[in-house]
Structure 1
Amino acid sequence: MSSLGRSLNLGLVLVVVLLTAGTVGATMFYQYSVDSLDQQNEQLRERNEALEQDLSQTRQNLSATRAELQELNSSLERTRGDVSQVANNLEDTESQLESTQSELSSTRNELQETESNLRDARNRISELTATLDELEEQRNRLENQIDDLETDNEELEETNAELETQIETLQSDIDDLEDRVDELEADLRRACSEFEDGNEPAVCSGV
């Protein structure tokens, strides 16, 4: 009995010791776990605060990005309007360009025709210039001939004047001679009248 009682007491002691050791270990483990959880909670709080700050900054960035996106959308709409206007202006410009090219083609044709007319005109001018030179040569020759004829005419006029003077002199002589003939005929008639009929000299016949 005593041996059994000692064994039971020893067992109880061991059980109590084990329970006490387990309780202390559990308490220490619990305390360690609590401290670890507190540290983790603190770290999580700090991490949460950092994430909240990041989230706030991200929201601000998102708001700014949305505002920028709206501005970009507005700018895009304006740009689309500008592009549409530019496209319309481009179409008008292309239409004007086609019209200008057509006018340019017509102008080139007119220029070619004008150049052809100009060449013809230059050729005509060359021909007329050559003709003018010939006419000037002819005019010079004619002027020389005129000068010669004028000289001849002056000489003829002088000769004519001399001849007229001679004619006047001759006419005066003729007049004098005619007067003398008239006087001689009168004298002859008087002389013949003094002869008797039938005795007149032959010179008196027909007087």
Structure 2
Amino acid sequence: MKFVGQTLNVGLIAVVIIALVGTVGATVMYQDSAEDIRGQNEQLRSENAELRSQLNETAGELQNARERIDALEQRLSTRTEDVDQVSGELNETEQELAATEAQLEETRDELTEARNRIVDLETQVDDLKRQRDQLEENVTYLEENVTYLEENVSKLETENENLETENENLEEENENLEEENENLEEENADLVDRLDDLCAKEENQNEDACQGYD
């Protein structure tokens, strides 16, 4: 009977130790996982806010560029009309030149001025066209940049949702671990009570496992 009691006591002590080690390990593992997830969530929220700010700024630049293109198109249209008007005036002046030699000198001056004006206007038209082409390239670049940023925002939002789902799963797992921990603590308490009961018996008091339970 003494040998059986000694074997039972050693087995109970081993079970108590294993249960305590398992409880501590599970709690530490959950705390590390939850801390990592919270850090990733915070970083993603920060990156998401920065990308949204960049997207809003780029959209504003795009709107400004479009407005400048509209203004340049209007100016180009006006200059083209001016060129047509001046060309018409030039034709009229050349006809008047053929009709009257008395006004030849004056008409030649007007003709020179009109031609110079045409050159200036054509130069302005060429400059406006180049500016328009440059702005169109800028608009294309900004539109591509907006698309890129929108894709990044979408990816980050998806990743954030996945991490939130994973966090919820970890929280659920934590609740399960806490429940399991409570069960293990109850089992540990029960095992300690049984050990106390065994050590309270006179035939087991001299056992090593019962030292300190007097």
Band the TM-score falls in, shorter-chain normalisation: 0.3 to 0.5
Q: TM-score, normalised by structure 1?
A: 0.39
Q: What is the TM-score with the length of structure 2 in the denominator? A: 0.38
Larger Rg: 1
